Chains A and B, each alone.
Chain A
Amino acid sequence: MLRHAIFLILTLGLAVPLGAQQSQPKEERVGDGYLIQVLRPGAIPAIVAPEFVSREEGDKFMADREPVLGVFDGQVAKAYSLWHLDRHEVVNDATPALGPIAVTW
Protein backbone atom coordinates (compact mmCIF):
# COMPACT_ATOMS: atom_id res chain seq x y z
CA MET A 1 0.00 0.00 0.00
CA LEU A 2 2.44 2.55 -1.28
CA ARG A 3 0.20 5.54 -0.69
CA HIS A 4 -0.22 4.68 2.96
CA ALA A 5 3.49 4.11 3.38
CA ILE A 6 4.04 7.55 1.94
CA PHE A 7 1.41 8.96 4.30
CA LEU A 8 3.16 7.36 7.23
CA ILE A 9 6.64 8.50 6.27
CA LEU A 10 5.49 11.98 5.52
CA THR A 11 3.30 12.65 8.52
CA LEU A 12 6.07 11.42 10.78
CA GLY A 13 8.68 13.18 8.65
CA LEU A 14 6.74 16.40 8.88
CA ALA A 15 6.38 16.10 12.61
CA VAL A 16 10.09 15.81 13.23
CA PRO A 17 11.97 18.47 11.23
CA LEU A 18 9.29 21.13 11.20
CA GLY A 19 8.79 21.13 14.95
CA ALA A 20 5.14 20.25 14.45
CA GLN A 21 2.30 22.06 16.07
CA GLN A 22 1.08 18.68 17.25
CA SER A 23 2.89 16.31 19.58
CA GLN A 24 4.67 13.23 18.28
CA PRO A 25 2.30 10.49 17.12
CA LYS A 26 1.78 7.75 19.69
CA GLU A 27 3.02 4.27 18.88
CA GLU A 28 1.65 1.07 20.29
CA ARG A 29 2.67 -2.48 19.60
CA VAL A 30 -0.23 -4.54 18.31
CA GLY A 31 0.29 -8.08 17.05
CA ASP A 32 3.43 -8.11 14.95
CA GLY A 33 3.24 -4.46 14.01
CA TYR A 34 2.86 -0.97 15.41
CA LEU A 35 -0.32 1.02 15.62
CA ILE A 36 0.62 4.66 15.13
CA GLN A 37 -1.98 7.23 16.12
CA VAL A 38 -1.36 10.23 13.93
CA LEU A 39 -4.70 12.00 14.25
CA ARG A 40 -7.57 11.66 16.67
CA PRO A 41 -10.47 9.41 15.62
CA GLY A 42 -13.02 11.37 13.67
CA ALA A 43 -10.49 14.02 12.63
CA ILE A 44 -11.33 12.91 9.11
CA PRO A 45 -15.13 12.68 9.29
CA ALA A 46 -16.76 9.81 7.43
CA ILE A 47 -19.83 10.43 5.31
CA VAL A 48 -22.78 8.70 6.96
CA ALA A 49 -25.73 10.02 4.97
CA PRO A 50 -24.58 10.04 1.35
CA GLU A 51 -26.87 11.60 -1.24
CA PHE A 52 -26.86 10.56 -4.86
CA VAL A 53 -27.88 12.24 -8.05
CA SER A 54 -28.31 11.12 -11.62
CA ARG A 55 -25.54 11.08 -14.18
CA GLU A 56 -26.96 14.23 -15.80
CA GLU A 57 -26.89 16.08 -12.50
CA GLY A 58 -23.47 14.65 -11.77
CA ASP A 59 -22.06 16.07 -14.98
CA LYS A 60 -22.55 19.50 -13.41
CA PHE A 61 -19.99 18.85 -10.69
CA MET A 62 -17.90 15.96 -12.02
CA ALA A 63 -15.10 16.22 -14.55
CA ASP A 64 -14.74 13.43 -17.09
CA ARG A 65 -11.22 12.72 -15.99
CA GLU A 66 -12.06 12.90 -12.32
CA PRO A 67 -11.02 9.63 -10.66
CA VAL A 68 -13.87 7.66 -9.13
CA LEU A 69 -14.53 4.45 -7.31
CA GLY A 70 -17.43 2.66 -8.95
CA VAL A 71 -19.60 -0.17 -7.70
CA PHE A 72 -22.22 -2.13 -9.62
CA ASP A 73 -24.31 -4.63 -7.70
CA GLY A 74 -26.07 -6.07 -10.75
CA GLN A 75 -28.88 -3.52 -10.56
CA VAL A 76 -27.53 -0.22 -9.36
CA ALA A 77 -24.31 1.51 -10.38
CA LYS A 78 -22.83 4.14 -8.12
CA ALA A 79 -19.74 6.31 -8.45
CA TYR A 80 -17.83 8.09 -5.69
CA SER A 81 -15.32 10.80 -6.52
CA LEU A 82 -11.86 10.03 -5.16
CA TRP A 83 -11.26 13.73 -4.60
CA HIS A 84 -14.30 13.70 -2.39
CA LEU A 85 -13.21 10.47 -0.71
CA ASP A 86 -9.89 12.16 0.07
CA ARG A 87 -11.65 14.36 2.58
CA HIS A 88 -13.64 11.66 4.31
CA GLU A 89 -11.79 8.39 3.77
CA VAL A 90 -15.01 6.40 4.28
CA VAL A 91 -18.53 6.67 2.86
CA ASN A 92 -21.08 4.57 4.70
CA ASP A 93 -23.54 3.60 1.99
CA ALA A 94 -25.83 0.72 1.01
CA THR A 95 -27.22 -0.86 -2.14
CA PRO A 96 -30.27 -3.11 -2.45
CA ALA A 97 -28.24 -6.14 -3.49
CA LEU A 98 -25.13 -5.62 -1.37
CA GLY A 99 -26.62 -4.22 1.79
CA PRO A 100 -24.61 -1.76 3.88
CA ILE A 101 -21.18 -1.04 2.37
CA ALA A 102 -18.16 1.01 3.37
CA VAL A 103 -16.66 2.82 0.42
CA THR A 104 -13.07 3.47 1.22
CA TRP A 105 -9.99 4.10 -0.80
Chain B
Amino acid sequence: MSQMTLLVNGRSHTVDVDPATPLLFVLSDDLALKGPKFGCGLGQCGACTVIVRGQAIRSCITPVESVQRAEITTLDGLGTIESPHPLQQAFIDEQAAQCGFCLSGVILSAKALVDRTPAPTDDEIDRALSGVLCRCFAHTRMRKAIRRYAASRRA
Protein backbone atom coordinates (compact mmCIF):
# COMPACT_ATOMS: atom_id res chain seq x y z
CA MET B 1 0.00 0.00 0.00
CA SER B 2 1.16 3.52 -0.57
CA GLN B 3 -0.29 6.99 -0.40
CA MET B 4 -1.23 8.61 -3.66
CA THR B 5 -2.80 11.89 -4.61
CA LEU B 6 -5.42 11.98 -7.33
CA LEU B 7 -7.02 15.02 -8.89
CA VAL B 8 -10.53 13.95 -9.77
CA ASN B 9 -13.26 16.25 -11.08
CA GLY B 10 -11.36 19.27 -9.80
CA ARG B 11 -10.83 17.93 -6.29
CA SER B 12 -7.72 16.47 -4.73
CA HIS B 13 -7.94 13.11 -2.96
CA THR B 14 -5.30 11.18 -1.09
CA VAL B 15 -5.76 7.42 -1.04
CA ASP B 16 -3.75 4.61 0.50
CA VAL B 17 -3.82 1.72 -1.96
CA ASP B 18 -1.71 -0.87 -3.75
CA PRO B 19 -0.12 1.17 -6.61
CA ALA B 20 -1.04 -1.56 -9.09
CA THR B 21 -4.75 -1.19 -8.32
CA PRO B 22 -6.72 -0.35 -11.46
CA LEU B 23 -7.85 3.29 -11.37
CA LEU B 24 -11.48 2.14 -11.72
CA PHE B 25 -11.41 0.35 -8.37
CA VAL B 26 -10.09 3.45 -6.64
CA LEU B 27 -12.64 5.74 -8.27
CA SER B 28 -15.62 3.55 -7.54
CA ASP B 29 -14.61 1.99 -4.23
CA ASP B 30 -12.36 4.50 -2.45
CA LEU B 31 -13.92 7.66 -3.89
CA ALA B 32 -17.49 6.25 -4.27
CA LEU B 33 -17.98 7.74 -7.72
CA LYS B 34 -20.89 6.28 -9.68
CA GLY B 35 -19.89 7.18 -13.24
CA PRO B 36 -17.13 4.78 -14.29
CA LYS B 37 -18.33 1.18 -14.19
CA PHE B 38 -16.77 -2.24 -14.45
CA GLY B 39 -17.92 -3.79 -17.71
CA CYS B 40 -15.22 -6.21 -18.80
CA GLY B 41 -11.99 -5.38 -16.96
CA LEU B 42 -10.16 -5.87 -20.26
CA GLY B 43 -10.42 -2.48 -21.93
CA GLN B 44 -12.86 -3.86 -24.51
CA CYS B 45 -16.22 -2.21 -23.75
CA GLY B 46 -15.68 1.35 -22.50
CA ALA B 47 -17.99 1.31 -19.45
CA CYS B 48 -15.10 2.40 -17.21
CA THR B 49 -14.02 5.34 -19.39
CA VAL B 50 -12.61 8.49 -17.79
CA ILE B 51 -10.78 11.43 -19.32
CA VAL B 52 -7.13 11.83 -18.31
CA ARG B 53 -5.02 14.60 -19.81
CA GLY B 54 -7.68 15.15 -22.45
CA GLN B 55 -7.76 11.53 -23.57
CA ALA B 56 -10.61 9.06 -23.03
CA ILE B 57 -8.93 6.12 -21.34
CA ARG B 58 -10.03 2.79 -19.85
CA SER B 59 -9.72 3.04 -16.09
CA CYS B 60 -10.14 -0.74 -15.63
CA ILE B 61 -6.69 -1.40 -17.11
CA THR B 62 -4.93 1.75 -15.91
CA PRO B 63 -2.82 1.32 -12.76
CA VAL B 64 -3.65 4.09 -10.34
CA GLU B 65 0.01 5.00 -9.88
CA SER B 66 0.25 6.03 -13.56
CA VAL B 67 -2.26 8.87 -13.20
CA GLN B 68 -1.08 10.51 -9.99
CA ARG B 69 -1.53 14.27 -10.09
CA ALA B 70 -3.09 14.11 -13.57
CA GLU B 71 -6.44 15.82 -14.12
CA ILE B 72 -9.07 13.05 -14.14
CA THR B 73 -12.66 13.66 -15.23
CA THR B 74 -15.44 11.13 -14.73
CA LEU B 75 -19.04 11.28 -15.90
CA ASP B 76 -19.92 12.48 -12.37
CA GLY B 77 -17.76 15.54 -12.94
CA LEU B 78 -19.34 16.92 -16.11
CA GLY B 79 -22.62 18.33 -14.89
CA THR B 80 -25.41 17.82 -12.41
CA ILE B 81 -29.06 16.85 -12.70
CA GLU B 82 -29.97 20.50 -12.20
CA SER B 83 -27.30 21.78 -14.55
CA PRO B 84 -26.18 19.07 -16.98
CA HIS B 85 -23.20 19.60 -19.27
CA PRO B 86 -24.38 20.46 -22.82
CA LEU B 87 -23.30 17.01 -23.99
CA GLN B 88 -25.34 15.39 -21.22
CA GLN B 89 -28.21 17.69 -22.18
CA ALA B 90 -27.93 16.48 -25.77
CA PHE B 91 -28.35 12.91 -24.54
CA ILE B 92 -31.47 13.98 -22.62
CA ASP B 93 -32.82 15.83 -25.64
CA GLU B 94 -32.33 12.81 -27.88
CA GLN B 95 -33.47 10.36 -25.17
CA ALA B 96 -30.28 8.55 -26.02
CA ALA B 97 -30.08 5.72 -23.52
CA GLN B 98 -31.88 2.67 -22.29
CA CYS B 99 -30.22 1.02 -19.28
CA GLY B 100 -27.50 3.69 -19.22
CA PHE B 101 -24.70 1.40 -18.02
CA CYS B 102 -22.46 2.25 -20.99
CA LEU B 103 -22.83 6.03 -20.76
CA SER B 104 -19.37 6.81 -19.35
CA GLY B 105 -17.85 5.30 -22.46
CA VAL B 106 -20.20 6.93 -24.91
CA ILE B 107 -20.33 10.41 -23.41
CA LEU B 108 -16.70 10.78 -22.34
CA SER B 109 -15.29 9.35 -25.59
CA ALA B 110 -17.44 11.88 -27.44
CA LYS B 111 -16.40 14.72 -25.14
CA ALA B 112 -12.71 14.00 -25.58
CA LEU B 113 -13.23 13.92 -29.34
CA VAL B 114 -15.18 17.17 -29.57
CA ASP B 115 -12.80 18.93 -27.18
CA ARG B 116 -9.92 18.34 -29.59
CA THR B 117 -11.96 18.27 -32.84
CA PRO B 118 -14.84 20.73 -32.53
CA ALA B 119 -16.38 19.73 -35.87
CA PRO B 120 -15.88 15.97 -36.06
CA THR B 121 -16.75 14.10 -39.22
CA ASP B 122 -18.83 10.93 -39.05
CA ASP B 123 -15.62 8.96 -39.62
CA GLU B 124 -14.03 10.65 -36.62
CA ILE B 125 -17.08 9.85 -34.50
CA ASP B 126 -16.86 6.24 -35.71
CA ARG B 127 -13.24 6.03 -34.62
CA ALA B 128 -13.81 7.67 -31.23
CA LEU B 129 -16.66 5.25 -30.44
CA SER B 130 -15.13 2.21 -32.11
CA GLY B 131 -14.40 0.49 -28.80
CA VAL B 132 -17.55 1.47 -26.94
CA LEU B 133 -20.34 -1.05 -26.58
CA CYS B 134 -24.03 -0.49 -25.88
CA ARG B 135 -25.91 -3.77 -25.67
CA CYS B 136 -29.30 -2.06 -25.53
CA PHE B 137 -28.33 -0.76 -28.99
CA ALA B 138 -29.30 2.85 -28.47
CA HIS B 139 -26.61 3.59 -31.10
CA THR B 140 -28.74 5.73 -33.41
CA ARG B 141 -29.85 8.13 -30.71
CA MET B 142 -26.40 8.33 -29.16
CA ARG B 143 -24.82 9.32 -32.45
CA LYS B 144 -27.56 11.90 -32.97
CA ALA B 145 -26.85 13.33 -29.51
CA ILE B 146 -23.13 13.57 -30.24
CA ARG B 147 -23.76 15.33 -33.55
CA ARG B 148 -26.25 17.67 -31.87
CA TYR B 149 -23.66 18.62 -29.23
CA ALA B 150 -20.92 19.13 -31.81
CA ALA B 151 -23.22 21.32 -33.90
CA SER B 152 -24.14 23.41 -30.87
CA ARG B 153 -20.45 24.02 -30.15
CA ARG B 154 -19.93 25.31 -33.66
CA ALA B 155 -23.02 27.52 -33.61
Asked if chains A and B come from one complex, the reply is no
- List chain A positions with a Cβ less than 8 A from chain B: none
Q: B residues bordering A, Cβ < 8 Å?
A: none
